Amino acid sequence: MNDQYTVVINGKPQGPYHLSQLSDLNITPNTFIRKPGMDDYKEAHAIPELRELLGFKYQKTAPQYFAAFDQRLLATVIDHFIIFGIYSIVILLSFIFIEGKDQRIMAYLVPFPSIFVIKLIYGSIAEASKTQATIGKKILNIKVTDLEGSQISFGRSLARNFSKILSVIPVFFGYLYSFLNRKNQCWHDIAADCLVIKDRLI
């Protein structure tokens, strides 16, 4: 079954063909092909066995689908909800060892700013990892990349997340700027030469 390929010829899917039959077709590096187990069609140059069979070279394709503002906002809300939930559980457990109402209020409020520091560090690590996304972004199937769609370094990820202050200071206009940018970039994305992309129009 995995040796069967569907080929888009003149705008119409044809096949299935066995791998050995593909060399007889007029396949170019940009011909769309799909085989069992693939979620969607890919260009021929993006499939390793076809590059070997037909002598194509892998061509890096610039990202085409960019995460919308609402998707990014929802991902951020999910991340903050998870971090705040963990923070609240830790604080409530600490109440076992803290007596007195005033002391408990102080124990809850004093470390509160640490949520934003934790989000900064966690976001920087997660978005520089192989998944290129925090939990919120994973749920919404979006990720952070460089301008070519590749994984970014931890340094660039940290710079991007720290630069969010630039998007916040002018009454969050840096975030709203994504509506004016054809790649849906916020100011902190531009500052770090990053994109937030999705695989398909979802």
Residue ranges covered by each domain of the chain: 4-54, 69-198
Q: What is the pLDDT of residues 36-87, one digit of tens each?
A: 877 778 888 888 888 888 888 766 666 778 999 999 999 999 999 998 888 8
CA distance 26 to 135: 43
Read off the pLDDT of each residue in 110-132 and give the average, rounded to a whole number: 86
CA distance 164 to 169: 9
Read off the pLDDT of each residue in 4-32 and give the average, rounded to a whole number: 85
Q: Residue 47's Cα: distance from chain center in Å? A: 22
CA distance 157 to 149: 14
pLDDT at residue 100 tops 90: no
pLDDT of residue 73: 94
pLDDT at residue 177 tops 50: yes
Tell me the residue length of the chain.
202
Percentage above 90 pLDDT, the chain: 44
pLDDT of residue 110: 58
pLDDT of residue 202: 42
Do residues 125 and 133 lie in contact, with contact meaning Cβ atoms separated by under 8 Å? no
Top-confidence residue, 95 or 145: 145
